[in-house]
């Protein structure tokens, strides 16, 4: 696509998530970066599902793969592993200033309440101290997948989610059974995932 259409535009931006939420697949960041450099594109990586889990101090897959300073734009969120609210972004100062002054979704949004900001900063301090518990999360996800396999449930997740190809009725029965044991495990259902193809659970 880039080889065919890149010449028609002055600038181009390639965007990807580092970890895709439904299957837990990880994007091939090094390969994407090489393609972007070859075709003179900027690369933006959304670390929403990697922040607080992967990389040193929970900084995400870009850091984990040694690509810090090479990816042009990196963003994450406080609302998943960090348990807060709002977004975090690592990008050049000129880009930040441009967004602050021109992005309508930012200009016309309400600022986060001070207690939420305090919680976000506390989560960041925990990450910087090394207390992300990302390795423990990945260990538990692996144990969960193995338990599914032992019970005859197929699983193919690569990161923290555990998708299974069970049908709709088994998914509902499993969810109900787990609820009876004190576990809230709601299946991801269509249209979030294709009809009849996937269930997804995150330990």
Entry pTM? 0.81
What's the token pair of residue 68? 């810090």
Nearest CA among 52, 45, 105, 51 for reference residue 73: 45
DSSP state of 49: T
Q: What is the pLDDT of residue 65?
A: 96
Residue 203, pLDDT score: 46
Structure tokens at 94: 């000129």
pLDDT at 104: 84
pLDDT at 90: 84
The CA distance from 21 to 84, in Å, is 18
Report d(CA 120, CA 57) in Å as an integer: 15
Q: According to the model, what pLDDT value does residue 201 have?
A: 54
Q: Which of 124, 120, 153, 159 is nearest to 139 (CA)?
A: 159
Please report the pLDDT score of residue 8 as a whole number. Answer: 95
Residue 154, helix vs strand vs coil: coil
Residues of the chain falling short of pLDDT 70: 153-168, 196-203
Structure-token pair, residue 79: 């609302």
**In this predicted structure, what is the pLDDT of residue 110?**
84
């Amino acid at each position: 696509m880039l080889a065919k259409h890149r010449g028609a535009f002055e600038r181009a931006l390639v965007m990807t998530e580092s970890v895709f939420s439904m299957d837990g697949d990880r994007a091939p960041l090094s390969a994407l970066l090489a393609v972007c450099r070859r075709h003179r594109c900027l690369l933006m990586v959304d670390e929403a599902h990697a922040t607080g889990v992967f990389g040193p101090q929970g900084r995400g897959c870009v850091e984990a793969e040694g690509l810090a300073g090479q990816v042009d734009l990196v963003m994450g969120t406080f609302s998943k592993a960090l348990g807060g609210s709002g977004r975090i972004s690592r990008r050049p100062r000129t880009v930040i200033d441009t967004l602050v002054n021109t992005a309508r979704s930012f200009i016309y949004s309400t600022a986060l309440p001070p207690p939420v900001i305090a919680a976000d900063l506390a989560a960041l301090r925990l990450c910087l101290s090394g207390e992300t518990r990302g390795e423990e999360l990945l260990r538990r996800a692996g144990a969960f997948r193995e338990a599914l396999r032992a019970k005859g449930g197929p699983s193919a997740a690569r990161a923290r989610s555990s998708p299974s190809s069970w049908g709709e009725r088994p998914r509902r029965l499993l969810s109900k059974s787990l609820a009876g044991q004190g576990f809230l495990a709601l299946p991801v259902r269509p249209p979030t995932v294709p009809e009849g193809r996937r269930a997804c659970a995150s330990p």
